[in-house]
Chain A
Amino acid sequence: MFDAFNTSCKQASRLLSESREHPLPFLKMAQLKAHLKVCDACAEFQKQLAGLHEIFGLYSKVINKFPLSDGPILSNEAKARMKATLMN
């Protein structure tokens, strides 16, 4: 695939990831925008970064609502220890 300004997907995807952490310098932003215009894979990667953000934003809410039957649980000893500590 033709790469605008010879930017590779490897470079562009790194800039996309970095752009979620801080505003990119002007030239890097221009380089990235040019690449995104001609590269479907990176355009999709950009959406997936937003998707990952959405998914992991839900993680701590969701992970706590499913039944515990198959998850690790506290041992009875640990529970007894905690109760004893809390009652003191």
Chain B
Amino acid sequence: MTNSAINPENWVEAHGDILYRYALSRVRDQQAAENLVQETFLAGLKSAASFSGQSAERTWLIAILKHKIIDFLRQSYREKPVTDLKSEEQSIDEFFDETGHFKKEPTVWDVDSALLSEKKEFWQTVQDCLQKLPPKTADVFSLREIDQVDSKEICKLLNISSTNLWVILHRARLHLRRCLELNWFESQKGRP
């Protein structure tokens, strides 16, 4: 195949905003997100030979961006390791009463992937719920469930113990399940 599909100037217009929005949702810093997008384009340019076909162009660039985000997180946690285990433990208590029961009992969700994929409002709710988590907790959860990095790898990446990781993930899940339940699955928005 020829290299005619590789047009860097077109990349910025065609994919720049979308990559930027994704990067920003993950790193929460405008400058860092811009840098990640630029690095993604540069890396794309270098490995242009591995790119095959126009339709996959964005998917391919997003895959590169995801790696860049993981590298970025590895570097930033080297400088400021995750240490707030105690506060994560304490915040788990918020979700339960004195006898250890759920304050907000889990109810039945209708998770229809095909249907939910089409609902922009749902993904706005997901993003809003994710943003309510403390930044480090959101980073750990996102690595695990969005990037699907395995637990042991995350421990190495962020230099934390498995116990620490499990607590942080659990706290994130307790928050997200309650937030999505209240703001989507049990709310007007979640109804067809």
Interface residues of chain A, those whose CB is within 8 Å of chain B, are 1, 3, 8-11, 13-14, 17-18, 20-22, 41-42, 44-45, 47-49, 51-64, 66, 68, 71-74, 78-79, 81-83, 85-87
Residue of A with least CB distance to B127:
A63
Q: List 13 A-B contacts (CB under 8 A).
A: A21-B165, A22-B151, A47-B108, A48-B106, A51-B111, A55-B111, A55-B126, A55-B180, A68-B21, A74-B12, A79-B12, A82-B12, A85-B38
Chain B residues in 8 Å Cβ range of A57: 145-146, 148
Q: B143-180 CB contact bits vs A (8 Å, 1 = yes)?
A: 00111100100000000001001100110011011001
Known: A44-B107, A51-B111, A55-B116. A21 touches B162 (CB 8 A): yes
Min Cβ gap B164→A in Å is 12
Q: How far is the CA of A57 from the CA of B127 in the complex (A)?
A: 13
Check A82–B41 contact: CB distance below 8 A.
Answer: yes
Chain A residues in 8 Å Cβ range of B177: 45, 48-49, 51-52
Q: How far is the CA of A18 from the CA of B170 in the complex (A)?
A: 7
Check A86–B41 contact: CB distance below 8 A.
Answer: yes
If A49-B177, A55-B111, A58-B113 are given as contacts, then 15 extra A-B residue pairs at C-beta distance below 8 Å, sorted by A number, are A10-B96, A10-B100, A14-B92, A14-B170, A18-B170, A44-B106, A48-B106, A48-B181, A56-B142, A60-B22, A63-B25, A68-B21, A73-B20, A73-B21, A74-B12
Residues of chain B at interface, number, CB under 8 A: 61
Q: How far is the CA of A10 from the CA of B91 in the complex (A)?
A: 12
Within 8 A of A (CB), among B68-126: 92-93, 95-96, 99-102, 105-109, 111, 113, 116-117, 120, 123, 126
Min Cβ gap A64→B in Å is 5
Q: Give which listed residue, B20, B93, B169, contacts A17 with CB less than 8 A.
A: B169
Check B37–A58 contact: CB distance below 8 A.
Answer: no
Chain A residues in 8 Å Cβ range of B106: 41-42, 44-45, 48
Residue of A with least CB distance to B31:
A78
Interface residues of chain B, those whose CB is within 8 Å of chain A, are 8-9, 11-13, 16-18, 20-22, 24-25, 34, 37-38, 41-42, 45, 58, 62, 66, 92-93, 95-96, 99-102, 105-109, 111, 113, 116-117, 120, 123, 126-127, 141-142, 145-148, 151, 162, 165-166, 169-170, 173-174, 176-177, 180-181
